[in-house]
Structure 1
Amino acid sequence: MLRYLIINKTIQNLENNLLGVQFLRWRRKPRWLPVAKSKEFRIPERPKQSEEEKLELMRLHNQYRTQMRSVRSYLIKEWEANKQKTTSDHVYITPEEAEKEFQMRMQLNNEWNKTISIEREEKLRIELKAKEELIKNKLENAEYYIERKREQAREEVLEQIELAKTFITRENLEAKIEEILANPVNHNFCVDLEKNIHREMDKN
């Protein structure tokens, strides 16, 4: 009865914590249950090995340890050889020689800096010249655009002045009326299929 209650309680807890998990039916005792009290203090009997099996295992263990010892010894010798080789490559120099080499490298560095400075100045000069040319072209284009706009405005003003001569003002109103009455214009006309224009005949 107690076992049944423990199993149900465990399953309920797992179902609450692990939603969507499908449980399988165990044929034997589930893993999450504790050891039975009747088997809690039982000491399992140690399996007995035959003499031949024991000798074979000893031989394999000795062979493994011998091989590993050989590999470690080889790696240690290789590391020591590389260490000695690396140490022998270093050349010890006196402080005077180090100062002399430092001054030589500083002189070489200064020469490189001068060369790079000259190249940089030449590059900046070329870029400045190109920028000046670009600004000059833009100014010329702007002046041409402004002059063109002025010319167009001047032409429009002259055209409007010429058109103003034909405007009807208070002074020439009577003369324009008499001119219109003397020269009537009939705008009624039609066009046939042959593109001939037929104007309306005067009723008078």
Structure 2
Amino acid sequence: MNGVITSSTVRLLNVVNRSFIPIRNKRIWMRKPLGSPVAKSKQFRVPQKPELPADEVAEIKRLYDNYKTQMKSLRVYFYEQSLKQADTGEAAQLQHKLEEEEHQRLMEENRLENEITANLREERLKAQLEKTAERALKALSRKQEEEELFDLNVERFVQQQQALPIIKEEDIEKAILEALASPADFNFAIDRDGYVYKGKETILEKIPEEKRERFSSR
């Protein structure tokens, strides 16, 4: 039951906290009980760290370094032995054989795929070459047609220019006199009804209504 101390509990506490020896109904303390505070005489005492001689420190360091080196060598040796046994074992050889067969199969598959890709590339390049040649021929034919059309237009323009009345060198003075004798008048007027009257000195009353020209925006 809770809160009841039995004899077994007392014996357990005596074993756990056995810091004295009962002799003739007296307790002779072997050490301080657990949980006891620090003695007043030792409360503010700082224990000094033992100082070792320099040669002893160097010897300890040398022994420790040797120990680490030897243990590392042993670990590397055992690791290499395990790898060697793993590579030469039956299971490892079988795995290596399977990997080699898989590698050969993949290489053959890759070779076939490369051949198919090369054939497709060759066909594509051939088709592109044919299309390029066809476009070049069409462009050349179109350029020839444009040149022929240009030559035809030039020839037609030359013929039209040759058909126009041209003043010869010996007739220049005569043409100038004729132009001075009959000057061109570019003046005109427009009335509210939209009729156009050309000439600066034109008299409206002298122009019959049926001969009048109506202004057109077109």
TM norm structure 2: 0.46
Q: Which has the higher contact order (CA 8 A, sep 6+)?
A: 2
Larger radius of gyration: 2
